[in-house]
Every structure is written in structure tokens, then in C-alpha cells.
Structure 1
Amino acid sequence: MSTNKNDQAHEDNFENLEEALGRTEQYIEKNQKKLTFIALAIIIVAVGIFAYQKYYKAPRELNAQAEMFQAQRYFEVDSFNLAINGDGNYDGFLDIIDNFGSTEAGNLASYYTGISYLHLGEYQNAINYLEDFSSSDFILSTLAKAAIGDAYMELGNNEKAASNYMSASTFNTNDFTTPIYLQKAGIAYELTGNYKDALAAYETIEKDFKKSSEARDIEKYITRAKLNLK
């Protein structure tokens, strides 16, 4: 009796499976054209992405790097106006941003432009271009954040300066730049009257970066912050 029930259950399962397969086949037959279009669309998108990367994006990247070469040379010798605006024969960083903004070179041009404006004393322009820059490179990201902090300090916005210095200190923790930016953050905090956070920044230098140049006289900064806390 039990065997008959099992056989019947197996037969029912096979029937259900055949019925499901039949429905699937009917759906495919009924929607074959639509499914074909979907499959073709996926293939076209994949081919399009490959073609875009190989035949459009990669050549533009190389072209942008070549066009930016002279501007980089001007930047290296502190000819910041020529680096930004070009010399009439070669493009400046602003031209690279306009013409190749979607490339890595165009993104890097935003960094160069921001640093150039910082040196020229055009601090708001420096902030604008440095904030447009983004990179997975810890060193450049750290330098950009710190430069934004410098620009805000020059503009008298010490709170934003402190915030950017603190961000710069955490991007790529090391014994060289981190204590520099912590000290800058502490000074900016003091200028805002925030002696608590200033003290925390100074004490971090004392505790975690004892061998740094900033640690040599950090005690006087700590003492000053503590006195102002009372």
C-alpha cells in the first residue's frame, strides 16, 4: 500500500514538472521575440561598454595627458598663471578640465588648478577646484584636504580649516604628515575658541607621534590649551 502511494506521488511530481516545463516552453514560444530583443540589448550594452573603454575613453586619456604636459612643466617651476591659463601655444589646466573633464587627467588638472590658485592667493578658487578633485590615492587626497584647510585659514574660516586639517590627518596616518596636520588643526581650533578639541589634537601628537618634529615643543601648545580651558 505504501509503495503504491509513493509511486503515485512520484507520478504526480513528474506530471507537475512536465506541466511546469510545458508552461515555460509556452512562455518562451509566446515571448520569443521579446526575449531575443532583451538578449540582444544585453550584448549590445556589453559591446558598447567595451568599445567605449577601448576606442573612446583610453585614447582620450592619453590625449589629455599629452595636452597637460606643458601645464605641468609650468607648475613645477612655479609659473602658476601659465599653468592655469596656458601660454597661447599650449593649453593650461583650465583647458584640460573643459576638454577632458571626464578623464583621470582632467580630474588631476582640478588638483593642479586648486594648488596653483592657492599659491596665487585666490583662496576661494583654490577651494572650488580642490573640492572638485577626487582620488583613491591617499597622498594626493591628503594633500588636497590640507590645502583646502590652508585656503580656509587664509579666508579666516578657522572652523572649516580645522575640519579639513583633521580629515587630512586621518587619510593616511604616518609619522610625517599626520602630526603636521594635527598641529594645524589644533591651532585652527584655538582660533575658534575650541580649546577642548585643540588639546585633543595636541595630546594625540604627544602620545602617538613622539618622534615627530611637532612633538618636540608640543608641551607648550598643550599647556596653553589647558590654561584656556579653565
Structure 2
Amino acid sequence: MADHKVKTTQADNQEEQSFDIQKSLYKAEDFYEKNKNVILGAALVIVVAVGGFFGYNKLVKAPRELKAQKMIFHAQNNFAVDSFARALNGIKGGEEGFLQVIDKYSNTQAGNLAHYYAGVCYVKLGEYQKGIDMLSQFKGNDLVVQAMAYGITGDAYMELNKVPEAIDAYKKAAAYNPNELTSPTFLMRAGLASEKAGKTDEAIKIYQQIKDQYPTTAEGRDMDKYLARLGVVR
């Protein structure tokens, strides 16, 4: 890196670095709470779009889509108020959960979205591998929710101490429809995870990318601090 002077990290910075990484690698729920309206709004767009899907196989597919929408409604409401176990499993003899929507209507748009919701529920409930497996089955073509699925997958991998897999998932999340809401957030996580894995050069590269591509975001404005901590000075 020709225009950078790289210094060896000082021993007395190690404690600060360890704390900073621990502080910054917040769990999936932190990002969800901060961006709940955006996430739920984007997810709602997917479900609402189902209502207009009558051109193909109108007599068979459209009625199934409508039934799936009705079934997922209560689960979404429970999800919105952080009742994740109820949203996931429903109530016996009562309202259905996301797992029931998947079981009955997996080939519908609402059924597909239920995979995302169910994956987040599993992660929130501490069942990280189940969350990863469920999120991998969600196939989105929207601007935000698919990126969130990749990013939360990264969070789950971090909880399982599978750091290389987490880094890959974070990078995938950041690269999906690049934008100033999700991309710098997940690049930041990729950088911090790279530090945790001892990949300092990779972390520097990622932090520089944030600084160059997203300079006006909160993450972008903080990058000089992170780069300096790793010994990179202008």
C-alpha cells in the first residue's frame, strides 16, 4: 500500500482493540432493532406484491398465495413485537407460525418469505445453525431483505465461532445491491471479523473500502480511527 505508512500494532493497544471488536461485533438483534421499520417495510413489499400475482395459473396459484398471506399475518404480528417463539411455532389449535406457513405453502411467495422470518426467529432464540439453514432457503429479489438474510447468517456464524464463514457471509451481504444502509454495516462486520481472525491486512483493505465508497455514513466517518488503530496513517 504505497501511500500508507504501516506501523506494527503496539502491545498497549491490544486491550483497546479487543474491547472495540467485542463492542462492535454486536448480535443480529441490535441491527434489527435499529432498522426494524426498514426491514419490516421491505418484507411487507414482498408480501403485498403477492396480491397482484394473478397472471400465472390464476385458478390454482393465486388462491394459494392469498391463503398463504392470510396464514402468515399473525406470525408477522408476533414477530413485530419480538414474540419470536410464538411467531415461529404458532399456537397449537390456534394461529399458525412461520413453520406452518412453510410446511403448507413453501412454493408461494409468502412461504418463501417465511423462510427469512423463521431464520431470524431461530437466530434470536439462540438456535444458530437452524437459523443458518432456514435463511439459506430464502430467495429474495428485493433491495434489502436478501442482504439482511446474508448478514444475519454472518451473525449466526460468529455466534458459532465460525469466523471465516461469517466473513464470507458479511461480504456477500455488503455486495448485494450495494447501498448506504446495509453495505457499510456489513463491511464493518467483515472487517472486525477479519481482525478477530488475525487477518489484519484484509481488515485494512475492508476499512479502506468503507472509507472510499461510503464516506458520508457513520461507518465511513469512523474509518480513520480504525485504520490508525491498525497502524495505517496518512
TM-score by length of 2: 0.72
Task: Give the structure 2 partner of residue 136 of structure 1.
Answer: 141
SS state at 1:138 partner:
coil
Partners of 1:133 and 1:226 lie apart in 2 by 40
Residue 52 of structure 2 is aligned to residue 61 of structure 1: no
Aligned to 1:204: 209
Q: Distance in 2 between matches of 1:120 and 1:98?
A: 20
Matched, 1:189 2:194: yes
Alpha-carbon contact 1:162-1:189 (below 8 Å) kept: yes
3-state DSSP of counterpart to 1:53: coil
1:175 to 1:102, Cα distance in 2 relative to 1, 3 A: same
Q: Is the 8 A contact 1:72 1:83 kept in 2?
A: yes
- Distance in 1, Cα, partners of 2:140 & 2:180: 22
Shift of the 224–66 alpha-carbon distance from structure 1 to 2, 3 Å rule, reads same
For residues 48-107 of structure 1, give each alpha carbon's deviation from its aligned partner in whole angstroms, at most 9, with x where no partner exists: xx9971111111011011011111111011101110110120111101101101111111
Question: Which has a greater percent of helix?
Answer: 1
User: Does 1:122 find its partner at 2:122?
Assistant: no
1:180 matches 2:153? no
Q: Is the 8 A contact 1:190 1:225 kept in 2?
A: no
Native 8 Å contact 1:97 1:110 kept in 2: yes
Equivalents in 2 of 1:219, 1:173: separation in Å? 22
Return the offset for 1:175.
2.0
- Is residue 127–residue 151 contact of structure 1 (8 Å, CA) maintained in 2? yes
Partner of residue 47, structure 1: none
| Pairs within 5 Å for 1:1-230 | 53-88=57-92, 89-226=94-231
1:169/1:51 CA distance change after superposition, 3 Å: closer
Which amino acid in the other structure matches residue 65 of structure 2? E
Determine the C-alpha separation between the residues in 1 that align with 2:72 and 2:79: 11
CA distance in 1, matches of 2:84, 2:125: 7
Given that 2:144 and 2:182 are in contact with CA atoms closer than 8 Å, whether structure 1 keeps it comes out as no
Percent of residue pairs identical: 43
* Distance across 2 between alignment mates of 1:171 and 1:51: 29
Question: Matched residues in 2 for 1:103 and 1:211: separation?
Answer: 39
- Partners in 2 of 1:226 and 1:56 — Cα distance? 62
- Moved beyond 4 Å, runs of 4+: none
Partner secondary structure for residue 198 of structure 1: helix
Residue 46 of structure 1: aligned partner:
none
Tell me the amino acid that sits aligned with residue 218 of structure 2: S
How many pairs were matched up? 178
| RMSD between aligned residues | 1.7
Change (3 A) 1:94 1:221: same
Distance in 2, Cα, partners of 1:225 & 1:176: 25
C-alpha contact (below 8 Å) 1:196/1:225 kept by paired residues:
no
Higher Cα Rg, which structure: 1
